[in-house]
């Protein structure tokens, strides 16, 4: 290979470009759109497959005709100018009707999917109100009386209907393996209905530019087995136990600082500007899915949130390193 490519800069450049291109062709990634895990996502992939096969068929036909033309009608040395044709009714009808038929083939399943995904949700569907804030997600379960942030839990096999609302600017709810994007618009309620089919953790992202930390407005959808979901609901409803030791010190700091004006912790505070922290310690991530929920990351976050997430509306609280670790200990104890 070295002897073959030596002295051929164009070949080496092509190989250098091919390596990173192939490196980006992973199939099973956290944000893949081609491995569906809900009925809605399967419908979308089905439409994608139809469009892909139609495009592949058209490409093969075009290249085949082009090859025939290049071989059969190539000009030889000294060949006379061929006869000039002005207009061809049959060809003109063909390249008008053929694209129309292709569009018809694509439009029929597309419209069917649109109507199915816009239908009224089943009576047994789990209702969740989704609020897109700058820059985090709030999930409220009105029938269950609980609320959480950035991590949406759903039971596998049960339809879910998400009521999408935008308190500030336009966002877009997108969890690729569970369904397509749906805008979250201030003053308007959108709806997304699907049935998660496989338990697991699915990554999501705001898909509408919404400000300086748009790229940091992430989420996780945790699809649980039905029994595990019921256990999660019970844990969310439980009142946090009284902390002791280092956690008690952190609770006192939390209650004496500006935290109580923005965050809800049952029995401590009832702020509504920031995420509900009643069961914060049970969450897997911090700062809308940016980093793992660990004591070190929580301490760094409460001490200087702007260093981790540009534009964040949570102010720096002026905590010392020791105080930040105490608050982190308290928050991590809220299971």
- Say whether pLDDT at 33 is over 90: no
Whole-angstrom Cα distance, residue 324 to residue 41? 42
Tell me the per-residue pLDDT of 225-279, one tens digit each, with 9 for 90 and over. 999 999 999 999 988 888 889 999 999 998 888 888 889 888 888 888 889 999 9
Q: At 217, is the pLDDT very low, low, confident or very high (cuts 50, 70, 90)? A: very high
Using a pLDDT cut of 70, give the percent of the chain over it: 93
> Can you say whether the dihedral through the CA atoms of 21, 25, 30, 36 is positive or negative?
positive
More confident residue, 6 or 13: 13
pLDDT of residue 8: 64
Average pLDDT over residues 18-29: 67
pLDDT of residue 23: 61
Tell me the per-residue pLDDT of 62-109, one tens digit each, with 9 for 90 and over. 999 999 999 988 887 888 888 888 888 898 998 899 889 989 988 998
At 310, list the tokens: 């540009």
pLDDT of residue 260: 87
Average pLDDT over residues 197-204: 94
Choice among 15-19, 159-163, 206-210 with the minimum mean pLDDT: 15-19
pLDDT of residue 22: 62
- Say whether pLDDT at 308 is over 80: yes
pLDDT of residue 269: 83
- Say whether pLDDT at 19 is over 60: yes
> Can you say whether the dihedral through the CA atoms of 83, 86, 89, 94 is positive or negative?
positive
Choice among 14-28, 104-118, 289-303, 312-326 with the minimum mean pLDDT: 14-28
Q: Give alpha helix (H) positions in the chain.
A: 2-5, 9-23, 39-72, 89-117, 226-237, 246-256, 259-262, 295-303, 305-308, 321-332
- Say whether pLDDT at 5 is over 60: no
Backbone angles phi, psi at 67, to 5 degrees: -65, -45
Domains of the chain plus CATH, in order, are 28-71+91-237 (2.60.40.420), 246-332 (2.60.40.420)
């Amino acid at each position: 290979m070295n002897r073959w490519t030596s002295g051929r800069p164009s070949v080496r450049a092509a190989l250098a470009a091919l390596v990173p291109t192939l490196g980006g062709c992973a199939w099973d990634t956290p944000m893949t759109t081609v491995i569906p895990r809900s009925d809605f996502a399967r419908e979308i992939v089905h439409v994608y497959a139809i469009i892909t096969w139609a495009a592949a068929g058209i490409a093969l036909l075009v290249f085949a005709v082009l090859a025939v033309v290049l071989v059969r009608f190539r000009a030889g040395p000294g060949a006379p100018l061929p006869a000039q044709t002005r207009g061809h009714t049959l060809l003109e009808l063909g390249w008008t009707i053929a694209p129309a038929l292709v569009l018809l083939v694509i439009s029929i399943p597309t419209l069917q999917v649109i109507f199915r995904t816009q239908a009224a949700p089943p009576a047994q569907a789990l209702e969740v109100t989704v609020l897109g804030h700058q820059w985090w997600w709030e999930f409220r379960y009105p029938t269950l009386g609980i609320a959480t942030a950035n991590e949406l839990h759903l039971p596998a096999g049960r339809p879910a209907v998400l009521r999408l609302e935008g308190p500030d600017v336009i966002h877009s709810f997108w969890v690729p393996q569970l369904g397509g994007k749906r805008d979250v618009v201030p003053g308007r309620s959108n709806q997304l209905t699907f049935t998660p089919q496989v338990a697991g953790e699915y990554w999501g992202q705001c898909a509408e530019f919404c400000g300086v930390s748009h790229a940091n407005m992430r989420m996780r959808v945790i699809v649980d087995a039905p029994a595990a979901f019921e256990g999660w609901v019970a844990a969310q409803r439980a009142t946090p136990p009284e902390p002791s030791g280092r956690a008690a010190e952190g609770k006192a700091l939390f209650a004496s600082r500006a935290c109580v004006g923005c965050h809800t912790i049952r029995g401590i505070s009832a702020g509504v500007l920031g995420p509900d922290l009643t069961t914060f310690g049970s969450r897997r991530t911090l700062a809308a899915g940016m980093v793992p929920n660990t004591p070190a990351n929580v301490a760094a976050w409460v001490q200087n949130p702007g260093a981790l997430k540009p534009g964040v509306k949570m102010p720096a609280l002026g905590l010392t390193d020791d105080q930040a670790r105490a608050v982190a200990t308290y928050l991590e104890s809220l299971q």
